[in-house]
């Protein structure tokens, strides 16, 4: 069964967050505990892919269009804005 784009993006965002936090939550638990972070991962990735937003952009010019990206900024990564929405991985304990 093929996933819709929305389902695919949700699963991908949850996986990125689980890998960052190093936890074994289900996708549903990630969505329940960190809904804003999940949505921000998706939005950042979509915006970066479309080059319509400043996510990951260091500088941008209008004349003859020039865009410079921060090093190592890619779609589907945990950026500083997403880190601010999540607990630090080394301080986060699952009992």
The 10s digit of each residue's pLDDT in 37-71 is: 999 999 998 887 775 445 555 555 566 665 555 55
Question: CA-to-CA distance for 68 and 18, rounded, in angstroms?
Answer: 29
Of the two residues 67 and 75, the one the predictor is more confident about is: 75
Q: Is 95 within the bounds of a domain?
A: no
The 10s digit of each residue's pLDDT in 3-17 is: 999 999 999 999 999
Q: With cut-offs at 50, 70 and 90, classify the pLDDT of residue 74.
A: confident
Percentage of residues in the chain having pLDDT higher than 90: 52
Q: Is 93 within the bounds of a domain?
A: no
Q: How many structural domains compose the chain?
A: 1
The pLDDT mean for the chain works out to 82
Q: Is 12 within the bounds of a domain?
A: yes
User: Which domain does 72 fall in, by range?
Assistant: 5-87
Eight-class DSSP state of 77: S
Q: Is the Cβ–Cβ distance between 33 and 18 less than 8 Å? A: no
Long-range contacts of 30-36 (CB under 8 A, 24+ apart): 34/85, 34/86, 36/85
């Amino acid at each position: 069964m093929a996933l819709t784009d929305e389902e695919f993006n949700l699963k991908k965002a949850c996986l990125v967050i689980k890998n960052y936090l190093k936890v074994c939550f289900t996708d549903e638990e990630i969505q329940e505990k960190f809904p804003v972070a999940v949505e921000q991962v998706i939005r950042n990735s979509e915006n970066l892919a479309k080059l319509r937003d400043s996510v990951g952009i260091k500088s941008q010019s209008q004349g003859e269009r020039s865009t410079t990206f921060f090093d190592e900024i890619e779609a589907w990564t945990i950026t500083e804005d997403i880190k601010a929405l999540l607990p630090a991985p080394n301080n986060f304990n699952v009992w």
